[in-house]
């Protein structure tokens, strides 16, 4: 299979993660991000212990992980580098759903996996009464997130994760105020 292949995807399911998904999540992260940007096993272990409900996995019927989205909820309006390393900052009733990573195996990119998971995360954030969803992305990914309704707020002064330039993107749910 090649990126962007039109071959039909097998039956897929979306579910929340659990601690037993640690190895699969860590392995996929290593494939998707350069070493300076990839979360390590210890980081994922902490995240999975504290907020597994904020991990959305897309997998085949046989359990093979194709894609995942993770983050946590907080009342803080902006995503900061500190959030990646401190799972205890998660606020279950937080106003904003932060997205730390969108990971899709290279063989399945361009086939709607990330879109499907992001829509699941967005729908769940809305159902939980959050104000919206916040993420950071590299400049070349802005148009992808804009198609999902995210607005580009410019280069983030609060995230220099892995030495990269990150744009903060925000999706506000209808009826939410405009400040933070």
Residue-wise pLDDT tens digits, 19-38: 999 999 999 999 999 999 99
Which residues contact residue 98 at a Cβ distance below 8 angstroms, ignoring those fewer than 6 apart?
71, 72, 73, 74, 79, 83, 133, 134, 135
Whether pTM > 0.85 for this model: the answer is yes
pLDDT band at residue 2 under the 50/70/90 scheme: very low
| Domains of the chain with bracketed CATH | 12-172 (3.40.630.30)
17 in Cβ contact with 117 (< 8 Å): no
In this prediction, residue 177 carries a pLDDT of 55
Task: Evaluate the CA torsion angle 28, 30, 36, 39 in order and state its sign.
Answer: positive
The arithmetic mean of pLDDT across residues 37-53, rounded, is 96
Residue-wise pLDDT tens digits, 122-156: 999 999 999 999 999 999 999 999 999 999 999 99
Question: How far is residue 36's CA from residue 163's CA, in Å, rounded to a whole number?
Answer: 8
């Amino acid at each position: 299979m090649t990126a962007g292949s039109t071959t039909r995807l097998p039956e897929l399911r979306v579910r929340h993660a659990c601690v037993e998904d640690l190895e699969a999540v860590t392995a996929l992260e290593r494939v998707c991000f350069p070493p300076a940007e990839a979360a390590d096993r210890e980081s994922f272990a902490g995240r999975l212990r504290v907020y597994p409900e904020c991990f959305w996995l897309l997998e085949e019927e046989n359990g093979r992980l194709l894609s995942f989205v993770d983050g946590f909820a907080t009342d803080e309006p902006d995503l900061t580098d500190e959030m990646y390393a401190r799972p205890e900052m998660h606020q279950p009733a937080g106003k904003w759903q932060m997205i730390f990573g969108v990971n899709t195996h290279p063989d399945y990119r361009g086939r709607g996996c990330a879109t499907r998971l992001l829509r699941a995360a967005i729908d769940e954030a809305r159902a939980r009464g959050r104000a919206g969803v916040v993420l950071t992305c590299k400049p070349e990914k802005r148009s992808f997130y804009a198609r999902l309704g995210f607005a580009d707020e410019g280069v983030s002064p609060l995230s220099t994760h892995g030495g990269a330039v990150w744009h903060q993107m925000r999706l506000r749910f209808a009826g939410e105020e405009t400040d933070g």
